[in-house]
Structure 1
């Protein structure tokens, strides 16, 4: 019998630019959706006792169940260990916000220094608050529609909304009219409709003007 040649696992990296999304299937059939400005590093196939990937940004994972080989998502602050599950991770490097939302299954979250360790139940999310890991129920399920190209705001502040627009549309928003930032807004938009569609819809409810500059940062000034 000819010997089967074992292929070395090769590390691969995918980067999703601002304003885009990507969907991929890993070698174990795990499905991953990646949001804007996100980098995922993963092996061409999983070797050894676990399945480990590294995430910088936001990803939604539907992990193939394999109790003998835990699936680990490494992020800057925490590692998320799972057996088979559906969950969303928001963990951009250099950004203090870390959030993991569990939709099905169970995940364990462990900080890089192994000081924090938390087992998350379905329909709960774990997030950092002043460096501490806390949990609360998931209330905004529409949020996860980002993987289908929908941006959903559910009683979010306009300040938060502008932050999301910067990420999803790769624009630089300068806010001169700060009076509107704490007003709240709910609504759904298709990413493909573009940032100006969102701003024009927002203007129907909130009083502001905007000016679009033609510079390399695609600056938008909110007046």
Structure 2
């Protein structure tokens, strides 16, 4: 009982300090302690909670403290060194408290929905075997479509590709009241596509990406699952929030336009807001509200930072254009290698050469590389094979 009271005092002291920065610790902080304090201040100031009763938070927090420390460590997925002489328990208390701050009643339902879509994605098609843009419809039929095609759905779920209706059973002939049917679109390396959803929301899908989405929106929310990079223009509907689920986060909106990049196997994801306002929620249920021309970066620990950017620079790929503005050759070739799914190498002598102008991503990769060669200084470009494919590297 005495230990619980001590932990209550620690929590109250930390909360008081984070609310009132005029107070200072009793002793000088070490660099590592200052870093941990900075992290806590970031969580306290930037990752705001949804509304919940304070008494309920406190009750759940103290109940959690009474459970085993190993369970706490497992659920928070993080360990913090002492912030100051108050000890390691203080950080644990703060994190557990924040965890309950960011909980909400319908988290389980949303997680279940996201998992269901992810399982659908994994079960239906392997991206490694896909060479062209592929649409997987409700009956698991796989349909190859041309690069940059538009896939559009009516309000009843009928689908057209570039204005041509697909030969499928009519939606109205199916059982009434059934669960939402999901379709999947797979865009391989070097390809792009675009979807118009049943609510007229639009999704541009970049190279090496997958999207799962309902044929029509029957539930209380509009939810899709994304792996890779997409740009969305969401139709406003205050009665049905639009939720984009990825392996790194969830983005919830009513109507807005934004870019999401969350590739499988990449430890970093980011959200860039073009218009409107969105809530980003990481896997620890921390939330952050974004304004236009802001970028939120996420890593394995969740929300990492927010910064001001020119959002238009992040959505040029929608038009198949990439403006370089002095980017080093090494960075440009790394992006092209990922975009086209080809290994591209260059001599180290040229890696730091800045490139200017525009690249047109609808063109053949060989043509793009030739235009880069011509843009390099003469003394660099004279060297043979300054840029080349290496087919021996997988």
Given the two structures, how large is their TM-score scaled by the length of structure 1?
0.85
Are 2:360 and 1:190 aligned?
yes
- 1:144, CA displacement in angstroms? 1.2
Q: What secondary structure sits across from 1:192 in the alignment?
A: coil
Gaps of 5+ in 2: 1-174
Considering Cα pairs closer than 8 Å and 6+ residues apart, tell me whether 1 or 2 has the greater RCO: 1
User: Among residues 197, 214, 222, which one is paired with 1:51 in the alignment?
Assistant: 222
Q: What secondary structure sits across from 1:39 in the alignment?
A: strand
Which has the greater radius of gyration? 2
Partner of 2:351: 181
Counting only pairs closer than 5 Å after superposition, residues 22-101 of structure 1 correspond to structure 2 as 22-101=193-272
The answer to which of 179-188 and 143-152 deviates more is 179-188
User: Among residues 94, 97, 118, which one is paired with 2:288 in the alignment?
Assistant: 118
Give the Cα separation in 2 of the matches to 1:164 and 1:119: 29
Given the two structures, how large is their TM-score scaled by the length of structure 2?
0.50
- 1:57, CA displacement in angstroms? 0.3
Q: What secondary structure sits across from 1:154 in the alignment?
A: coil
User: Among residues 133, 148, 151, which one is paired with 2:304 in the alignment?
Assistant: 133
- 1:150, CA displacement in angstroms? 1.6
Partner of 2:52: none
Contact 1:19 1:170 in 2 (8 A): yes
Contact 1:140 1:154 in 2 (8 A): no
Counting only pairs closer than 5 Å after superposition, residues 159-178 of structure 1 correspond to structure 2 as 159-175=330-346, 177-178=347-348
The answer to which of 51-60 and 143-152 deviates more is 143-152
- 1:51, CA displacement in angstroms? 0.7
Give the Cα separation in 2 of the matches to 1:174 and 1:112: 36
Gaps of 5+ in 1: none
Give the Cα separation in 2 of the matches to 1:183 and 1:98: 27
Give the Cα separation in 2 of the matches to 1:102 and 1:24: 19
Would you tell me which structure has more strand in proportion to its own residues?
A: 1
Give the Cα separation in 2 of the matches to 1:135 and 1:182: 28
Contact 2:345 2:387 in 1 (8 A): no
Give the Cα separation in 2 of the matches to 1:159 and 1:117: 35
Give the Cα separation in 2 of the matches to 1:7 and 1:152: 47
- 1:129, CA displacement in angstroms? 6.3
Partner of 1:211: 388
Would you tell me which structure has more helix in proportion to its own residues?
A: 2
**1:154–1:96: structure 2 CA closer, same or farther, 3 Å change rule?**
farther
Matched residue pairs, number?
212
- 1:41, CA displacement in angstroms? 0.6
Contact 1:143 1:152 in 2 (8 A): no
